[in-house]
Amino acid sequence: MKDLLKAFEEKKPEIVFEWKDTETEAEGWVVINSLRGGAAGGGTRMRAGLDRHEVESLAKTMEVKFTVSGPAIGGAKSGINFDPSDPRKQGVLDRWFKVVTPLLKNYYGTGGDLNVDEIHDVIPLTEQYGLWHPQEGVLTGHFDVRENGRIHQIGQLRHGVSKVLEEAKYSPDLKRKYRVADMITGFGVAESIKHFYSIYDGSSAGKRAITQGWGNVAAAAAFYLVKQGVKIVGIIDRVGGLVNTTGFTEEEITALFLNRNGNALNHPNMLSFDEINEKIWSIGAEIFIPAAASRLVSKEQVRLLIEHGLEVIASGANVPFADREIFYGPVMEYADEQVAVIPDFVANCGMARVFAYLMQPNIEISDEAIFNDVSSVIREEMKNIHALTPQPKNISSKAYELALKQLLS
C-alpha cells in the first residue's frame, strides 16, 4: 500500500492554475490532479494561510474519493488564500469565479467547501458567468452528453443539490428549509459509523461519541447519530465546547444545531477552548468524528482517546490528522493500527456521491432516494474493506489499497 501511495503522491498534477487578485491580497489555485475520464471534480475552499501544497493534496484526495463515490473522473480542488471573515470576501469570490469559468465550462466541476457555501456562493456566482451549474464541466468532459441530455441532467443537478428537505427524519427543522447540500455530508459520516458497526458484528446504539467541530458536517453527523441511539458526550469547537458524560438528548443536539452562531457552537454554558481541549480527550468515547479542519488531530490526542475506550474514527474533515504527508502519515498510521479509522474519502463522500447520482439520466429525486443512495454506496465500500481486513484495524490502509489499484492500474 505504501508503495502505491508513494507513486500516487509523487505524480505531478496535470494542470495547476494560479491566480493573484488585482484588488486584494487574495491568491488562489485550481489544481487538477488528472483529467481521468476527461474531467475532474473538487470543491472550492477559502481560508487564511492556505497554500498550493494544501490544494494539491486535496485534489489527490478527491481523485481517491471518486473511486468510491463515482463518477470515474480525476480529482481537483480550488483554494483561495484569504480570510473568509473579511468583508471583501464576496468580491474576491466574484473575481475568482469569473476567471475560472472557462475551466468549469469544459472539464472541471466544483462545489462548496470550507468557508464557501454551495447554495449561497458557488451556484449564484457561476450562474452569473454563464454556467447552468458548477458541475457542467464534468457533464461536458466526462459524460460527453449531447445538448438536450445535458440540459436534462443539469436540471437534475440544480434541483437535487438545492432540494429543500421534506422529511423530518432528515431535517432538524422543516420550517427552516434545510437543503440536501446542508446535511448530506454529515449524514454520510453517521452512516459510515452505523455500517462499520453492523458489518463488524455490532451496533452503534449506546456508543459514546465526540465531535471535533460544529459546522455542517459535525453538527449534521451528530444529529443523525443520536437517531441511531449514539450518545454525544463531547463537542470541541474553535470557540469552546461542551461535555455531558451521560450524553446529550436528541432534543438538545437538535437545539445545538439550530442555535449555532453561523457554523460555530453557541451555548451559554460553553467551556473555553483551553478548558475543553484539556478535558475532552479523556472523557471516554467509542466514536470520534474529526470534522473541524484538515491536519488538526495530534498523536497525543489519539493516544488519549484510545486509552479511554476509542473504537472508531470517522473522518468528517479531509486529511484530519496532523501529518505533513498527503494521505497516510505517522499519526494516521498509528491510529489505523490501533483502532478502526474510516478514511475521509469513504466517510465524507456524501456530496460527491450526490453529484454522481444526479448526473445519471432519469433518476428519482426525493429525500429518500438521495439519502439512501449515499448510504448504500458507503455500505458497499465498507463491505469491500471488510473482505480485506475482517478485524477492525488497518481499515484505512486497505481502503487506500483498493482505491489506488484502480487509479494506478
Residue 300: Cβ-neighbour burial (10 angstroms; 0-12, 13-18, 19+): exposed
Longest dimension (CA), the chain: 58
The mean pLDDT value for 216-234 works out to 97
Beta strands 108-109 and 40-41, pairing class? parallel
CATH number of 12-161, picked from 2.60.40.10, 3.40.50.10860, 3.40.640.10, 3.30.930.10: 3.40.50.10860
The total of other beta-carbon atoms located within 10 Å of residue 386's CB is 18
**Where in the sequence of the chain do the CATH 3.40.50.720 domains occur?**
180-408
pLDDT digits (tens, 9 = 90+) for 159-192: 998 899 999 999 999 999 999 999 999 999 999 9
Beta strands 27-32 and 15-20, pairing class? antiparallel
The residue to which cell 478548558 is assigned? 275
177: left (phi over 0), alpha (psi -120 to 50) or beta: left
Residue 152 pLDDT > 90: no
Give pLDDT, residue 146: 67
The total of other beta-carbon atoms located within 10 Å of residue 216's CB is 23
The residue to which cell 444545531 is assigned? 257
- CATH T-level fold of 180-408: Rossmann fold (3.40.50)
The mean pLDDT value for 261-287 works out to 97
Counted residue by residue, the chain has a size of 409
Angle, alpha carbons 24-123-22 (nearest 5°): 15
Residue 231 pLDDT > 90: yes
Cell of 236: 470541541
**Where in the sequence of the chain do the CATH 3.40.50.10860 domains occur?**
12-161
The residue to which cell 474519502 is assigned? 345
Cell of 117: 457555501
How far is it, in rounded angstroms, from Cα 310 to Cα 339?
7
Residue 148 pLDDT > 70: no
Task: State residue 224 phi and psi, 5-degree precision.
Answer: -80, -35
Angle, alpha carbons 221-384-367 (nearest 5°): 40
Give 147-153 contacts, CB < 8 A, sequence gap 24+.
Answer: 149/361, 152/361, 153/358, 153/359, 153/360, 153/361
How far is it, in rounded angstroms, from Cα 332 to Cα 397?
10
Out of 149-158, 215-224, 260-269, 350-359, least confident range: 149-158
Residue 293 pLDDT > 90: no
Angle, alpha carbons 106-110-113 (nearest 5°): 165
DSSP-assigned letters across all residues of 8-37: HHHSPPSEEEEEE-SSSS-EEEEEE---GG
Beta strands 340-342 and 287-290, pairing class? unpaired
Q: Please say whether the beta carbons of 287 and 314 come within 8 A.
A: yes
The residue to which cell 446535511 is assigned? 183
Q: What is the rounded (10 degree) CA torsion for 236, 237, 243, 245?
A: -40
How far is it, in rounded angstroms, from Cα 255 to Cα 236?
16
pLDDT digits (tens, 9 = 90+) for 126-137: 999 999 899 999
Cell of 384: 469491500
| Chain-centre distance for alpha carbon 202 | 25
pTM: 0.91
pLDDT digits (tens, 9 = 90+) for 243-268: 999 999 999 999 999 999 988 999 99
Which ranges in 146-284 belong to alpha helices (H)?
147-161, 180-199, 216-227, 250-258, 273-279
* Closest residue by Cα to residue 397 from 340, 347, 348, 350: 340
